[in-house]
Structures are given as C-alpha cells and as structure tokens.
Amino acid sequence: DRTHANLLHHFGSAAGLQKALAAYLAETVCDTIAAKMTSSPPGERNVREIVDLAFDAFDSGGAGALATWMAATGNEDALDPILDAIHRLIDGTAPDAHEKRLMHEDTLALVLMAMGDAQLGGPMAEALGLPRDTARTLATELITGRIAAFWTEQGGKPPQ
C-alpha cells in the first residue's frame, strides 16, 4: 500500500506512471539513435545498428509490451512522449523536407516492424523455419534500399 501511495503521489495515477515510463524509454532510445546518426556522415551510417537499437528497445527494453498495454487499456495518449521524441529525433537530423519525409516513412516502417517483432517475432520465425533475426534483416534491407533510391533521385551521394 505504501508503494502504491508513493506512486500515486509522484505520478497521479497508473496512467501517469505509464506515460512517464514511455517518455523515459523514448528519450533514452532516441538519444542513443541520435548519437549513432550524428557520429557518422549520412552516407556512412550503419543502418543495422539503428535497426537493432529500435528492435531492442521494443523487445528487451520493454517498449513493445508497454505500448501494447497502453493501447489495450485505452491509454493511447501515453504514447505521445514516444511520438514526440521520435519527431524531435527526425527534426534534429534531417536537413530538409524531402529527407524528413523519407525518415518519417522509414521510422513508421521500423517502429511497426520492431513492435510486431517484439510481440510475435520469435514464434513467427520459428513457425516459418526462419532465423530469429529475419525481421531485423528485412528492416535493414528495406531502409537501406530506400535510402539508396532517395539519394539516386537527388542526383548522387548525401553531403559529407
């Protein structure tokens, strides 16, 4: 009862605690991804590292279970800190509207793939006789291919 009272005092409700936890997870993951992205020029970024960070956040980091619980209990507004952190990450790393659009689309695909993998990836891969990291590989291939196509459309390599 004391623990419950302390939580209510600090967060106001279970929903408030969930929102604070979502904000913490999102900021931690987005800060790590931002550091990875800014540590190398756009054309030299290791997409697989970024994919792994996102997948790990939703799986072992607990973001997938938390997001699923919040959505299932009707507490979708608690996802706002996650969405806000992702938006700030993109705004801080994409220099123009075209690149922002690409990053928004790739982020949508990556988050949905990571979320699905956290929930069903193990059993699905096993049932289909695929290696456990197949979804990560597919996400990496998808994003890498889209980045290459984007820069081809822009007339060459990204600025260094």
pLDDT per position in the chain (160 positions), as tens?
556 666 666 667 777 777 788 788 888 888 888 888 888 777 778 899 999 999 998 898 888 888 888 888 887 777 788 788 888 888 877 777 888 888 889 989 999 999 999 999 999 999 999 999 999 999 999 999 999 999 899 887 665 5
HSE at residue 28, side-chain half, CA atoms within 13 A, is: 13
Whether 6 maps to a domain, the answer reads no
Whether 118 maps to a domain, the answer reads yes
Whether 133 maps to a domain, the answer reads yes
| DSSP 8-state assignment for residue 39 | T
Token pair in block for residue 114: 């990571």
**Residue 60 is part of a domain; what is its CATH number?**
1.10.357
